[in-house]
Amino acid sequence: MIHLAPSILSADFARLGEQVAQTEAAGVHRIHVDVMDGHFVPNLSMGPVVVQCLRPRTKLPLEVHLMVSEPAKFLTPFVKAGADTLIVHHEVLPDARPLLRAIRAEGKKAGLAINPDTPVSVLEPYVPDLDLALCMTVYPGFSGQKFLPQSPERIRALRQLLDRLAPHCELEVDGGIDKTTAPLALAAGANVLVAASAIFAHPEGPAAGVKELQKIVQ
Ligand code: DX5
Ligand code: ZN
């Protein structure tokens, strides 16, 4: 089963609850929340309060993508706010295991993300501690960027790694996913597609953005 994960980074923040509800009604499986600290990535976005406000407005799992230099600091605040999955970046953690285990000890799903320049093989020691592996298909920081051409090859390598060591671990892709690139990511072995602009900046609204991607996924 392929999951769609709308990233609220491209939502109209003044109508956030309403727009998330539109994507839920259109049949998405989870909501992706991009957290940026202006340090690990050159942009600021949102904090636990956004998760706290969304929590009573949707039944969908809330997945928090921590693009921050010190993710351990934010584990408890996001858990308290109602996050279901926490995704941290390999690039800021000399050994991700203690934090991944702390996430699972809270009863939450643990994800590990790699940037486009990080070799896929770095994930190998972590797969027993992972519910989700995230292959970034743009350099993180902004929505609306182009899917990087090296991505399908990287997704294929990650698919092979997971099939070999952790077939139940989800393979998520994030960045530049739209109706043209989603088929490439799926063919390479992704099973969770994050999309911000293709959904929330769709000219006919978020539900139409979801429907367009669903046609590809089904
Ligand atoms: C990138 C974020 C993504 C981003 C995706 O830094 O992690 O989740 O919002 O945006 P699109 O789908 O527009 O590339
Ligand atoms: Zn993201």
Domains (ranges, CATH) in the chain?
3-217 (3.20.20.70)
Ligand nearest to the Cα of 111, by number: 2
Task: Kindly list the catalytic residues.
Answer: 34, 174
C-alpha 63/C-alpha 183 separation (Å) is 23
Report how far ligand 2's centroid is from the alpha carbon of 218 (Å): 23
| Dihedral of the alpha carbons of 19, 203, 185, 24, in degrees to the nearest 10 | 20
C-alpha 137/C-alpha 177 separation (Å) is 8
Report how far ligand 2's centroid is from the alpha carbon of 87 (Å): 9
Phi/psi for 157 (5° steps) reads -65, -40
Q: Which residue has the least CA distance to atom 10 on ligand 1? A: 143
Q: Which of 217, 191, 171 is nearest to 26 (CA)?
A: 217
Pocket flag, ligand 1, residue 177 (CB < 6 Å): yes
Instruction: Assign 95 to helix, strand or coil.
Output: coil
Which 8-state DSSP code applies to residue 27? T
Contact 184, 17 (CB under 8 A): no
Tell me which of 63, 145, 184 to substitute to probe ligand 1's pocket, judged by most ligand atoms within 8 Å of the beta carbon: 145
C-alpha 174/C-alpha 41 separation (Å) is 15
Q: Which residue has the least CA distance to atom 6 on ligand 1? A: 140
Spell out the per-residue pLDDT of the chain, length 218, in tens: 999 999 999 999 999 999 999 999 999 999 999 999 999 999 999 999 999 999 999 999 999 999 999 999 999 999 999 999 999 999 999 999 999 999 999 999 999 999 999 999 999 999 999 999 999 999 999 999 999 999 999 999 999 999 999 999 999 999 999 999 999 999 999 999 999 999 999 999 999 999 999 999 98
C-alpha 135/C-alpha 158 separation (Å) is 8
What residues pack around ion ligand 2 (CB closer than 5 A)? 34, 65, 174
C-alpha 112/C-alpha 133 separation (Å) is 5
Phi/psi for 65 (5° steps) reads -100, 105
Atom of ligand 1 nearest to the CA of 178: 12
Pocket flag, ligand 1, residue 115 (CB < 6 Å): no
Ligand nearest to the Cα of 85, by number: 2
Element (H, E) at 171: strand 170-174
Q: How many CB atoms lie within 10 A of CB 124?
A: 12
Report how far ligand 2's centroid is from the alpha carbon of 166 (Å): 22
Atom of ligand 1 nearest to the CA of 142: 6
